[in-house]
Amino acid sequence: MQEGQDGVGSRTKGTRKRRALLLVVLSVLALLVLVFVLPVLAINSSVVGSQVRERLLPRISTQLGREVSIGDFEVSLFPRPSVQLQDLRVGGTGGGLAFIEAPSASFTLRLWPLLFSRGRNVQVRSVELQAPIVNLERAPDGTWSYEGLFGGETERQVVVSSLRLAHGTLRIVDRSGPGHQVGVALTKVDGVATNLGRGQPFTVSLAAALASARQNVALSFDRQPEGVQGSLEIHAAALDVLAGLLPAGLDKLVQAGTFSLAGKLFSPEGGGYAARGSAQLEELALREGKARSSFNFLASSAPQAPGLTVALEEIQLDGPGTKLGGRASFSTTPPRGDFDLQGEQLALDVILGAL
């Protein structure tokens, strides 16, 4: 009899402990609701929306030094505060193309400033752009459209900690030479940039497609006060995409074939940007048939100097009846090419006719 009473007492004590534990858990959850959920519910989404249009966008425009405009937008508070934008546009320089155009974008907001101000202090934590078009435009004076970004006065050094691109397009438009040329274009761009702000170090990494149905480009670089460091790889891109970068006439030599390259990005003495590495060309269409080539390259773009300069060393070209080596260099503004080639057959009529 005593043993039965002891068993009932043990079960009763166990039930009481479970109830007490459940009560503690429910109390903690209720406290979390009071601390986190209710303040969020107290935020008026229309207030956040007005702050986005009336204060946040002008502030971003000031920080970027470019006009930023949007179409419709929608504010969401759960599961995390965010703003969904339509028709985002970041202006370019002067009368040029827009720097960024995106049919849709998402801004994730910082929670605590939003809570403490009941929606009146809106700060951006991250941005994601869907199917954006980014135009890197070089003006007649040699400056690029990205120069001067974050040049406006601002009380905050960092605009966003993370910027993501999904399914984007990147176009390089060169107006520094004769005419208005749309050069290399990247499609299927997926990338991320971190720590974007005025005068701040930042990092960029992306994958994209260059003259290819699939992503065949990998780019990463780190921008520090002392300069840029990074890497670039391209695999089996159609060679004719480079025709617009070559001196007039040399496009006859790049009407067919593919190229691959791997190189390092850096900042040379005197400023600007440069890339050094090696490249391979396959399925080149020469008069006698298909050929292949390889070489080392150094490409550079100096500040305030229009155009691109490329030096090719250790050139090797092999094809039916053709075997040559040497070096070459060319610049895009003004269009010019210099060659020092030796071999069994140089196809001089093609080369000279292209110059």
pLDDT in tens, 333-349: 777 778 887 876 555 55
Q: So what's the pLDDT on residue 30?
A: 46
Average pLDDT on 223-252 reads 76
Answer for the pair 130, 146: CB distance below 8 angstroms, yes or no: no
Place of tokens 């534990």: 21
Whether residue 332 is found in the same domain as residue 206: no
Whether residue 34 is found in the same domain as residue 164: no
Give the chain's domain count.
Answer: 3
Whether residue 50 is found in the same domain as residue 107: yes
pLDDT band at 294 (very low <50, low <70, confident <90, very high): very high
Q: So what's the pLDDT on residue 123?
A: 66
pLDDT exceeds 50 at position 188: yes
pLDDT exceeds 60 at position 315: yes
Q: What six digits make up the tokens of 80?
A: 């995390």
Domain end marker among 217, 239, 264:
217
Whether residue 80 is found in the same domain as residue 208: yes
**Domain range for residue 67?**
44-217
Percent of the chain residues topping a pLDDT of 90: 21
Whether residue 129 is found in the same domain as residue 179: yes
pLDDT tens for 141-154 read 767 777 777 655 55
Answer for the pair 253, 262: CB distance below 8 angstroms, yes or no: no
Whether residue 279 is found in the same domain as residue 322: yes
pLDDT band at 46 (very low <50, low <70, confident <90, very high): low
Whether residue 48 is found in the same domain as residue 132: yes
pLDDT exceeds 80 at position 311: yes
The larger pLDDT score, comparing residue 352 to residue 276, is at 276
Structure letter (DSSP) for residue 36: I
Q: So what's the pLDDT on residue 57?
A: 77
Place of tokens 């519910």: 41
Domain end marker among 192, 217, 242:
217
At residue 56, the 3 state secondary structure works out as helix
Whether residue 210 is found in the same domain as residue 273: no
Q: So what's the pLDDT on residue 119?
A: 47
Least confident of 13-17, 55-59, 220-224, 269-273: 13-17
pLDDT tens for 278-291 read 999 998 876 667 88
pLDDT exceeds 90 at position 191: yes
Domain end marker among 217, 244, 272:
217
Whether residue 159 is found in the same domain as residue 118: yes
Distance, in Å, from the CA atom of 216 to the CA atom of 315, rounded to the nearest integer, reads 24
310: Cβ contacts below 8 Å, ≥ 6 apart: 297, 298, 299, 300, 329, 330, 331
Half-sphere exposure of 208 (CA within 13 A, CB side): 24
Q: So what's the pLDDT on residue 33?
A: 41
Least confident of 138-152, 202-216, 319-333: 138-152
DSSP strand pairing (227-238 vs 258-266) = antiparallel
Whether residue 180 is found in the same domain as residue 297: no
Distance, in Å, from the CA atom of 332 to the CA atom of 337, rounded to the nearest integer, reads 9
pLDDT tens for 82-100 read 788 899 998 887 667 888 9
Q: So what's the pLDDT on residue 80?
A: 72
Whether residue 53 is found in the same domain as residue 30: no
**Average of per-residue pLDDT values in the chain:** 75
Q: So what's the pLDDT on residue 34?
A: 38
Whether residue 68 is found in the same domain as residue 185: yes
Q: So what's the pLDDT on residue 298?
A: 95
